[in-house]
Amino acid sequence: MVRMHAQSLRYYERMGIVTPSRSQGRIRLYSQADINRVLQIQRLINDLGVNLAGADIIIRLNERIRRMEEEVEELRHQLQRFRDRRLPAPTEEQTP
């Protein structure tokens, strides 16, 4: 699927870049997230000339940014719910 040598995938696993689950027969089972991560690493290396360590850092930072953006959005929703409960609704005189 990713057109990569199995040895390279095992190296990625040792580095902690991908963490496949295992079947009962100890066969590596890669999730769609693992596959997407490997493809993203390949793009960073092949298209941008980033080395493997740099690609790993970029991916981890992107994941962290995404999680933080989700957290900020959730906090915005919580704040809006709090405002809706605490602040009175605007009257017709207050609306522009």
**pLDDT for 18-56, tens place per residue?**
989 999 888 999 999 899 999 999 999 999 999 999 999
CA atoms within a 13 Å half-sphere pointing along the CA-CB vector of 88: 5
Contacts of 30 by beta carbon, 8 Å cutoff, 6+ apart? 9, 18, 20, 38
Structure tokens at 21: 């689950």
3-class DSSP state of 1: coil
**Can you say how many angstroms the Cα of residue 90 is from the centroid of all Cα atoms in its chain?**
40
Instruction: Quote the pTM value.
Output: 0.71
Contacts of 1 by beta carbon, 8 Å cutoff, 6+ apart? 35
The mean pLDDT value of the chain amounts to: 90
Specify the DSSP class assigned to residue 19.
-
What are the CA-CA distances from residue 96 to residues 80, 88, 92 (Å)?
A: 21, 16, 8
Domains of the chain: 6-86 (1.10.1660.10)
